[in-house]
Structure 1
């Protein structure tokens, strides 16, 4: 919406508008990417972090299943909602973990 407002304020003659459009297209081609706003970068970083955390949780659940068999739903839930630091600790501990019957 802000870009529409700026465009409305900055009305260019048709030939300059076409020249600007071409210059922007050339610039995008040179750097092989379009401009990414700060909020788009933030969203991408956030998505990447969430993806990494989901991947770590999935890996830990797989290792637990291989080592100890099917996991109860409450264990799966704890792993899926764990903080990244806790997942790191658990991923390290799985190497030496032993089954403890409560």
Structure 2
């Protein structure tokens, strides 16, 4: 309750120069905890002494508990539903296969979303789901929004590279190359499988603008 009062005060302070009188605000708590909401539903319920009606500040605390009900029914708006579903599972760390399945559903809701929206979703998942592998991410994106795979996966792979997570990165790089240039020679697959992290990072950088496989793997100085 006290956090809500603080936020309400901050919003009203920012609006004072533009509105007189100030507009009403109906606070809504979007809750995604692992257990059901058990805190007070009125501000006065969090105080040590009950207040007489009308003598002090009091208001109901409206709670939207994301853990209740069918997640597909969270919203009729696909983009909002996808975001709420992501928040619902954000407090857990699902195994790779479950994460892939969840992502397929969430990303399906986000078809047509702007790049910035998908990037925010990707960053949230990478931050929260430690068990998510490059392969699971690639498979989920390809199943739900294949036309956006380069946007989502290439930047995710770069983050894994920055974190030193080499597991699965080579296979993700090969998938991106295959989507750009078609079936890959066995020699290319062998080089990627045995490459070091710096090599993978270098090839990933080159693959963004390269017009052919030879440009990606060319070791000559330019």
TM-score band, normalised by shorter chain: 0.3 to 0.5
Q: Normalised by the size of structure 2, how large is the TM-score?
A: 0.22
Which structure features the higher share of helix residues?
1
User: Based on CA coordinates, which of the two structures has the bigger radius of gyration?
Assistant: 1
